């Protein structure tokens, strides 16, 4: 399935907007010298990744029939639970340290970016790809 022009425009707009936001913060984040700034920057990166995921999810949801949409909703809920539990596990050893928010946000950002890629793959299905969800 080829993404509609509106789908592609939505994704491009979000990417550009977050790119501008990231560039504004990147100077501060590239030269961060204290843990508080590093934690804040990691959280901002996660928030941007989460916004991209939400946009991709909405674009994909608009292209699905009711049954596929319900399966996507169930999968997404399960994925969020998994991501949160996995990142709690991975960041657990630093729970009492000042680095904990950065480790947790970094894990959440990495998992969220990977999930966005998974969902984006369904927006550009090749003809005959039976692993892609179609209407």
CATH code: domain of residue 12: 1.20.1270.180
Answer whether residue 126 is part of any domain: no
pTM comes to: 0.78
The first and second tokens of residue 127, run together, are 């003809």
CB 59 within 8 A of CB 119: no
CB 63 within 8 A of CB 1: yes
101: nearest Cα among 17, 37, 48, 10? 37
47: nearest Cα among 101, 8, 9? 101
- Per the structure, the complete domain to which residue 55 belongs is given by 5-119
Which phi and psi angles does 120 have, rounded to 5°? -60, -30
Band (pLDDT 50/70/90 cuts) for residue 5 is low
Q: Kindly report, residue by residue over 101-124, the tens digit of the pLDDT.
A: 999 999 999 999 999 999 999 998
Q: What is the mean pLDDT of the chain?
A: 86
DSSP character at residue 3: P
- pLDDT at residue 87 above 50? yes
Answer whether residue 128 is part of any domain: no
Q: How many domains does the chain have?
A: 1
Distance CA 29, CA 56 (A): 26
State residue 90's pLDDT score.
97
State residue 77's pLDDT score.
98
Q: Is the dihedral of CA 15, 20, 21, 22 positive or negative?
A: positive
State residue 119's pLDDT score.
96
Segment 16-26 mean pLDDT: 53
pLDDT top residue among 9 and 69? 69
């Amino acid at each position: 399935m080829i993404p509609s022009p509106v789908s592609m425009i939505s994704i491009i707009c979000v990417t550009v907007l977050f790119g501008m936001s990231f560039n504004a913060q990147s100077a501060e984040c590239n030269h961060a010298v204290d843990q508080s700034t590093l934690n804040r920057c990691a959280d901002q990166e996660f928030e941007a990744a989460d916004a991209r995921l939400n946009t991709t999810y909405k674009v994909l949801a608009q292209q699905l029939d009711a049954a596929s949409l319900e399966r996507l909703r169930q999968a997404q809920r399960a994925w969020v639970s998994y991501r949160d539990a996995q990142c709690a596990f991975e960041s657990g050893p630093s729970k009492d340290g000042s680095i904990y928010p950065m480790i947790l946000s970094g894990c959440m950002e990495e998992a969220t970016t990977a999930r966005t890629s998974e969902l984006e793959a369904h927006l550009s299905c090749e003809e005959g790809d039976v692993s892609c969800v179609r209407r």
